[in-house]
Structure 1
Amino acid sequence: MISKTTIDNVFETARVEEVIGDFVQLKKSGSNFKGLSPFTDERSPSFMVSPVKQIWKDFSSGKGGNAVAFLMEHEHFTYPEAIKYLAKKYNIEVEETEQTDEQKEQANERESMYVVSEFAKDYFHKTLLNTEQGKAIGLSYFKERDFSEDTIEKFQLGYSPDTWDAFTSEAIRKGYKLEYLEKTGLSIVKEEKQFDRFKGRVMFPIQSLSGRVLGFGGRILTNEKKAAKYLNSPESDIYHKSKVLYGIYHAKQAIAKEDNCFLVEGYTDVIQMHQLGIENVVSSSGTALTPEQIRLINRLTPNITVLFDGDAAGQRASIRGIDLILEQGMNVKVCSFPEGEDPDSFSRKHTLTEVEDFLKENAKDFIQYKASLLVKEAQGDPVKKAGLVRDMVESIAKIPDVIKREIYVQECARIMDITENVLFNTLAQIRNKGKKDVVKEEKPKASGNGEMVALKNEEKVKFRRQYELEQNIIKLLITFGKEPVEFLDLMIEEDEEGNLVEKEVKRELIIYEKIYLDLQEDEVEFANEDFQNIYPVLIEHLTREEGEIKLDQLGQTLDPEIMGKISSIAFEPERHTLHKWDTHEIYVKSLKDNSGLETVQTLLNLRHFLIQSKMSEFGEQLKSGELPENAKEFMEEYKDYKTLEVLIAKKRNLVIMPFMR
């Protein structure tokens, strides 16, 4: 168990913008940072990070919280794992007590699979470096490929012995369960027998964006015809090959820095280019490129350069992946190596400068590349040329940005020597057909009971209104809880004759004090369960702590889901910055300018809403004719509420004056 001292130290040291910056490309936006959501497929940034509040909010998925919450959401870490990850990142020593056997038993299945995969990585790496078979076969292979010792260490390359159960037996001897060896695909179990999946192969660990081992790729070194040259881990709870890119862990910083990602085909292509000094490179690991893999790159950069081998057939097949990249709204270039060369072999034969120059000089825009490749196939045949043009326009149709589409149409018209009008007409046909193919959502069915529907809708409106008012109170506490304001307050008192009358009183209060006193006075309880949980925590925090609310510290005690709601509310005043209204000469007034007024009006609106609800209940009872036994008291209470409703309605645009302490 991790000590509280370590946890406190981690929270005090970790910077949310630095932690998230390792996974998402962030750009400055006022006092905040913004970027593309790492949880959904989006093209306009709706992900915000606040260095001041030390929280983040993803408006597209609704997730939010502090640095630990991000790691738990994005990397599927447990709370202790997230703390340990941050401790390692910031060189903080982790103090913890030894886990009991019972605690180890309670570790969740995913974590057990991660632990087994980590053990396997270390086992294969040590086997490569420290055993006779590993050095004679595995290490010799890597040396033949000119991999240096530093490169082998960096990518934790390994070797699985050429015996049936060497790894499985060692793992079981070390206490790892066969159940998880099988679930990760490291061991194959048949009729109470078990053997190694990667027997006699050199091993390439496949890591997540955060460096966790998800699975393995293994290359056989013999000439067995029945055995696949490359073998990957099977799909599991932690390894989904369509969502993983080989090398992303080592490449993420360089991709963000260079604002470009080189996409290659194989493991050795990635490793060789890294060794040469080009680190912003990843591989789809020999599988067809998927939208999930493209979105993984899009979190770090909108620019991809696809590197093709010199093999023409492979280029034609791989060109389908370009349409997927375009569909995601990314910028794509293509670079083809000379015939017979691939990124691995080319990098071995040339210096860093030579390779960099080659990539710069030969990287073409996708439309130029596709045209040059397909024109060779047409060879002056008009029918083939027409098909080629349509093929290119179909690629352009995938681009979501209308300006980019128009520019590419113009470029295509120039290259193919055809009028723009023809291409625009073809583009329109293709896009219109695409729209028709989209299945429309079913319209809601009309209810036979119109009165019941109207009643339900009315209840929804009332519920929504109360939710909004309660949420606004939480927002004011989070954002301006410690702001001092002079309130011109409305007091409702009884006069000598027992009538309710209004009285204005100036009071100097802190916003959280004003909210707390008013809600206490009216005995108001939040209807929403989340707000019921959040409100007392915020009041206690504001009473105890100096200065603004420290949301990252709140995250230590609150449920991650509740913390996500707090983040959402905290970012609400700044959400308009995502839409760049000022570029349209629409200037949104800061809530801070009117925090006191907003507080008074919200409290008055809530009081008015609750009174109206009470009046509605009275009205229903009067309509039914079923008056309570104490009918006289009931009617007097009804009269008081009616008077109070009128008074509050008159005062809902109350003016307040800020003051300085």
Structure 2
Amino acid sequence: MAGLIKREDIDEVRNRTDLREVVESYVTLKSAGIGSYKGLCPFHDERSPSFHIRPQLGTFHCFGCGESGDVIAFIQKMDHSSFTETVELLAARINYELHYEDGGPGPRREDYGKRQRLVDAHKIAEEFFRAQLATEEGAAGREFLAGRGFDAQVATEFSVGYAPKGWDSLLKHLRSKGFSDDELKLTGMFSEGNRGIYDRFRGRVMWPIRDLSGATIGFGARKLYEDDQGPKYLNTPETSLYKKSQVLYGLDLAKKHISKSRQIVVVEGYTDVMACHLAGITTAVATCGTAFGTDHIKIARRLLQDDGTGGEVIFTFDGDAAGQKAALRAFEEDQRFIAQTYVCVEPTGADPCDLRLHRGDEAVRELIELKRPLFEFAIRAELKKFNLNTVEGRVQALRQTAPIVAQIKDSAIRPAYARELAGWLGMNNEDVNRSVGASIKRARLPKNAEQQVPVPAQGAQQQVAAPTFERPDHRDPVMRLERQALEVVIQQPQRLQDEQWQAFYEARFMAPAHSAVHDGIVAASSAGASATSWVEVIRDEVPEQLRSFVSELAVTSIPASDEHSLNRYCADIINGLIELQITHRKAELIGRLQRAEMEPEGEEYAQINRELMELEMRRRILRGT
């Protein structure tokens, strides 16, 4: 396992990556002034553009939803990738070799090249299979799809293809594209025998399986012919690209919808995903030949933003015994989610594809709408194991189901399920509550609890609450000038002269938020932050609540049309800030004169008056009067 990526490499990747180029692969950008661009925010729905970037500073900010950050944060939010995955992706993009802490090896540059060759091979294979579906031999594949309600347009929409029956059709095609047999062995698309490698997928309908970025990394294949001795469904084996426990079919199509609606629907097959999407359930995904496990949950939680503020996970299973078993297996993993989990089991045994075929899109939507909480399903499934007509059966059932109720995380929902359980068992609420309460205590009690004595921690300190900042009212001229000064210093630090920097260091900002950002700028300057890391260092130096505000200041359009007007604007704003400081200082000195009982001829009185005169002269110089 690779160690942590070295900090200097992260900075280098961030600095070398063109933010505008990256963002434009997702967002159409238009000029928003010198060095600034804007477009429709990719993180929320909007009609007028409020998403701004400033490539020179490597920063983006949306004035609508508040999302902000650098190029790494942008890719993380768009592709729902981890920080390490994102940095490695961007490093590969610019052909930069990363180094890792603690001697961790990490991916080498040549590894990225090998990976890209595998990705390219899969892309070409996908195009090959899609083309084969339209051939005469591909008629068998088209008939299969039509029999499930999918026409040619739908097949194109989901990139479904056909693998010819020959032993080397794909092999010859990829060899003709310059791929060596050693490379092709690593793709998982070929098997190896005494005479060399041959096509793994033959005479089958083909579904491309893609990662979060949309790159095809494997295939799922369904057999069509009776003489095919292989399994009904055949997937790509484990490769360096394809890890079945970490991929979900349809995730590339569903990820934005999952993030937006905070819902994920897990179905059982490729055609079920297609049926759901066509019926309007665009959050549907499917596992690829394996159970929905821990790694899948990590991906789903990342997409759902599973932080306890909402979201739902819906599992659909057939109504047969295997479906019931799969649902209970899903329940075992339920506690890994904070989001509410549900299950849909069609009583007739029909899957979403069958429902759509025989009863239309509305039936698929109804199936999802009639979801039942997974807890309810698990409790009822457990109750079926006991004879509830006997006292012994009811007591045994309570012993088995009380721990299930005790597992419910939501303390507001748990008592309601306890009452439901009492009704299903025909027992009084007190007995059920007592049993549930005992299960909760047992779950919380450490194994050696009787040996543990609570001891206060030595030198323990009370936790200090994080500071809060009100957003300054920029209708106030003073607040507006403070903000404009921060915008200039963050966006155009190179335009400040030494004396202007000194004045900025000494400036006192009235708004707490502005003052904290000012302190962050001073710290970043003192740390010698480079031009490319300037904004990121400032963001790191301010309280977490203000990091989005720093990005906002970094991308706010400055009212200047050319270099001359930009220079003039920056000078005017900084001079305005200096004059504001002079005004503050004069007010303090005049107040001292008014409060103090000093001799008009005394030294202190004269010193204050001299400083007042110097301040007034400085103010006149700034104004050019």
Query: If the length of structure 2 is used for normalisation, what is the TM-score?
Result: 0.58
Separation in structure 2 between the aligned mates of residue 512 and residue 105 of structure 1, nearest angstrom: 48
Asked if the contact 2:297/2:336 (under 8 Å) is kept, the reply is no
Separation in structure 1 between the aligned mates of residue 526 and residue 22 of structure 2, nearest angstrom: 21
Asked if the contact 1:481/1:511 (under 8 Å) is kept, the reply is no
Q: Deviation per CA, 1:114-142: give whole Å up to 9, x if none.
A: 2222121111111112x221x22222211
Does residue 1:248 correspond to 2:251, yes or no? yes
Separation in structure 1 between the aligned mates of residue 22 and residue 383 of structure 2, nearest angstrom: 64
Q: Equivalent residues in 2 for 1:448-597 (5 A)?
A: 482-483=485-486, 535-538=527-530, 540=531, 551=535, 568-569=540-541, 572-574=544-546
Q: 1:183 aligns with which of 183, 186, 210?
A: 186
In structure 1, the residue matched to 2:344 is 335
1:319 match: secondary structure: helix
Note the C-alpha offset of 1:331: 0.7
Change beyond 3 A, Cα 1:353–1:317: closer
Q: Deviation per CA, 1:15-72: give whole Å up to 9, x if none.
A: 79945669xxxxxxxx99xxxxxxxxxxxxxxxx953697449xxxxxx844257658
Q: 2:386 aligns with which of 364, 378, 381?
A: 378
Q: 2:282 aligns with which of 279, 285, 288?
A: 279
Separation in structure 2 between the aligned mates of residue 372 and residue 339 of structure 1, nearest angstrom: 18
Separation in structure 1 between the aligned mates of residue 487 and residue 214 of structure 2, nearest angstrom: 47
Separation in structure 2 between the aligned mates of residue 410 and residue 15 of structure 1, nearest angstrom: 55
In structure 2, the residue matched to 1:627 is none
Asked if the contact 1:160/1:200 (under 8 Å) is kept, the reply is yes
Note the C-alpha offset of 1:397: 4.0
Asked if the contact 1:16/1:66 (under 8 Å) is kept, the reply is no
Change beyond 3 A, Cα 1:570–1:267: farther
Does residue 1:120 correspond to 2:125, yes or no? yes
1:132 match: secondary structure: coil
- Higher mean displacement: 141-150 or 270-279: 270-279
In structure 1, the residue matched to 2:4 is none
Change beyond 3 A, Cα 1:105–1:208: closer
Q: Deviation per CA, 1:388-421: give whole Å up to 9, x if none.
A: 4344333344444444444433433343333455
Change beyond 3 A, Cα 1:390–1:233: farther
Separation in structure 1 between the aligned mates of residue 141 and residue 67 of structure 2, nearest angstrom: 47
In structure 2, the residue matched to 1:153 is 156
Does residue 1:412 correspond to 2:425, yes or no? no
Q: 1:298 aligns with which of 283, 297, 301?
A: 301
Asked if the contact 1:294/1:325 (under 8 Å) is kept, the reply is no
Does residue 1:364 correspond to 2:372, yes or no? yes
Q: 2:361 aligns with which of 348, 352, 370?
A: 352
Q: Equivalent residues in 2 for 1:79-90 (5 A)?
A: 79=90
Separation in structure 2 between the aligned mates of residue 168 and residue 145 of structure 1, nearest angstrom: 30
Note the C-alpha offset of 1:346: 1.1
Note the C-alpha offset of 1:175: 0.9
Change beyond 3 A, Cα 1:17–1:242: farther
Change beyond 3 A, Cα 1:397–1:283: farther
In structure 2, the residue matched to 1:67 is 74
Q: 1:311 aligns with which of 302, 320, 330?
A: 320
Asked if the contact 2:317/2:326 (under 8 Å) is kept, the reply is no
Change beyond 3 A, Cα 1:190–1:421: farther
Give the partner amino acid of 2:130.
Answer: H
Note the C-alpha offset of 1:242: 1.5
Q: Deviation per CA, 1:548-569: give whole Å up to 9, x if none.
A: x6x4xxxxxxxxxxx6x76544
Separation in structure 2 between the aligned mates of residue 317 and residue 375 of structure 1, nearest angstrom: 17
Q: Deviation per CA, 1:289-341: give whole Å up to 9, x if none.
A: 11322333333442022222121342134222023124312212222213242
Separation in structure 2 between the aligned mates of residue 156 and residue 364 of structure 1, nearest angstrom: 33
**Number of aligned pairs?**
436
Separation in structure 2 between the aligned mates of residue 418 and residue 573 of structure 1, nearest angstrom: 51
Does residue 1:78 correspond to 2:92, yes or no? no
Give the partner amino acid of 1:363.
Answer: K
Note the C-alpha offset of 1:434: 5.0
Change beyond 3 A, Cα 1:510–1:306: farther
Separation in structure 1 between the aligned mates of residue 39 and residue 245 of structure 2, nearest angstrom: 29
Separation in structure 1 between the aligned mates of residue 18 and residue 205 of structure 2, nearest angstrom: 43
Separation in structure 1 between the aligned mates of residue 447 and residue 124 of structure 2, nearest angstrom: 47
Give the partner amino acid of 2:21.
Answer: I
Asked if the contact 1:269/1:342 (under 8 Å) is kept, the reply is yes
Q: Deviation per CA, 1:169-215: give whole Å up to 9, x if none.
A: 21112112333322221112345600111122211111223322121
Separation in structure 1 between the aligned mates of residue 326 and residue 487 of structure 2, nearest angstrom: 66
Separation in structure 2 between the aligned mates of residue 405 and residue 429 of structure 1, nearest angstrom: 14
Give the partner amino acid of 1:346.
Answer: L
Q: Deviation per CA, 1:577-596: give whole Å up to 9, x if none.
A: 9xxxxxxxxxxxxxxxxx99
In structure 2, the residue matched to 1:132 is 136
- Higher mean displacement: 369-378 or 420-429: 420-429
Separation in structure 2 between the aligned mates of residue 344 and residue 121 of structure 1, nearest angstrom: 23
Q: Extract unaligned runs of 5+ from structure 1.
A: 23-30, 33-48, 58-63, 84-103, 441-478, 486-506, 516-530, 543-548, 552-562, 578-594, 597-658
Separation in structure 2 between the aligned mates of residue 534 and residue 213 of structure 1, nearest angstrom: 47
1:335 match: secondary structure: strand
Query: If the length of structure 1 is used for normalisation, what is the TM-score?
Result: 0.56
Separation in structure 2 between the aligned mates of residue 199 and residue 406 of structure 1, nearest angstrom: 55
Separation in structure 2 between the aligned mates of residue 191 and residue 432 of structure 1, nearest angstrom: 62
Change beyond 3 A, Cα 1:21–1:199: farther
Change beyond 3 A, Cα 1:183–1:147: same
Change beyond 3 A, Cα 1:54–1:434: closer
2:265 match: secondary structure: strand
Q: Equivalent residues in 2 for 1:581-660 (5 A)?
A: none
Q: Deviation per CA, 1:327-368: give whole Å up to 9, x if none.
A: 3122122222132422111111113334434543x3222333
Asked if the contact 1:138/1:159 (under 8 Å) is kept, the reply is yes
Asked if the contact 1:220/1:229 (under 8 Å) is kept, the reply is yes
